Each structure stands twice: as structure tokens, then as C-alpha cells.
Amino acid sequence: MSRNRSIGYKGELPWRLLKDLMWFRQFTLNKKIVMGRKTFESVGVLPNRTVYVLTSKPTKELRKLAKEKQIKIIKKITRIPKDAIVCGGEEVYVQVLEQCSDLFLTYINKAYEGDVFLPYFEDDFVLVNVIKHVVEDGGEMDGVEFEFRHYANKLIKMGFFEDKKMMRQLNEKH
């Protein structure tokens, strides 16, 4: 996420940070990952991961890839595996972010033009750790500073996961 919350522009990442891509690869390798159709169309099949594509309208190409067992299509957020890593995009984050126990993201201390943005999450999550502060070296992004951050969902960590919606309703009434 950039300083202005941008996470996408014209179907791609607004930046090309090699160290960020390497960290994402290492973090998601051999794990289940979930993404929306638009995000999948921009990144494609990622090797050595179980890729779930969340979409209400699977395209012919998605159905073909599912038949070939390269991806799995899910139509409802209730079908997302509990141990999956959600990788975007904006519409998926809007639907599932409050149900996530943890949020790992790259924060880039620079604003980028975007047409896809990470929804505001800071009221529900607390920064647990800055895993690593990085400065990109080389290429057109030379000198760009970014961090790998870990946030935890406040209510889930306190044991209120099942009652989270009820707690919000109570707070709204009082």
C-alpha cells in the first residue's frame, strides 16, 4: 500500500519493487492464497501455491484453469479457507478484511497514482511489528523506502471474533 492507500493502477501494481515481489513470493510460497478475478487476471497462475479465485462470474478462461486444476474457483466468501492468505483486490478486501486475524502488507512511503485502494482498516487493526525496513537499490525505484508490516485484528486477538458484529451493533446503540 502506498502512502495514499493505492494498491493498483490500470490492472497492475503502481510500482515495481523487486524486494517487495521477492518478499511476497517467500511469504506465500506453498500456501493457500485468495484473490479476486481482477487481481488474478493481472498476476496469473502463481506456481507452488494453491490459488483460490473469488468471483461470482467465472470467465471461460477461469473455468478452463480450474478444470486443469491450476486454480480453484470460489463464489462466496464463506468458502475461503481459514488458513488462506488474502491477496486482493479492493473488492475482496472490502468483503473479508474485518474477518482476517492478521494483515501483512508492504507500506511504501510514497504516493502513487491509483484506481484501486486498500480500504481503511486502522480502527480494527493494531500495528504489531515492522518486520523489515527496506530501501530499494537499483533500477527506476532506486532509493524508494518501504516496510513490511504486520497488523493484528484487535477484536479477534481479544477473542471477540464470533461476536464482532454484535459488539459493533451494541456500540452503535450506546
52-84 pLDDT, tens digit each: 999 999 999 999 999 999 999 999 988 899 899
Q: What are the φ/ψ torsions at residue 170 (nearest 5 degrees)?
A: -60, -45
Contact 33, 58 (CB under 8 A): no
Instruction: Please state, in angstroms and as integers, the Cα–Cα distance from residue 109 to each residue in 1, 36, 64, 78, 151, following that order.
Output: 9, 26, 40, 34, 17
- pTM greater than 0.95 (yes/no): no
Q: Determine which helix (DSSP H) or strand (DSSP E) holds 13, and give its type and residue range.
A: none
Tell me, what DSSP letter sits at residue 150?
E
Residues 6+ apart with CB under 8 A from 159: none
Write down the pLDDT at residue 160.
54
95-145 pLDDT, tens digit each: 999 889 999 999 999 999 999 999 999 999 999 999 888 888 877 788 888
How many angstroms separate the CA atoms of 159 and 174, rounded? Answer: 22
How many angstroms separate the CA atoms of 12 and 19, rounded? Answer: 17
Q: For the chain, list the domains and their CATH numbers.
A: 6-166 (3.40.430.10)
148-158 pLDDT, tens digit each: 999 999 988 76
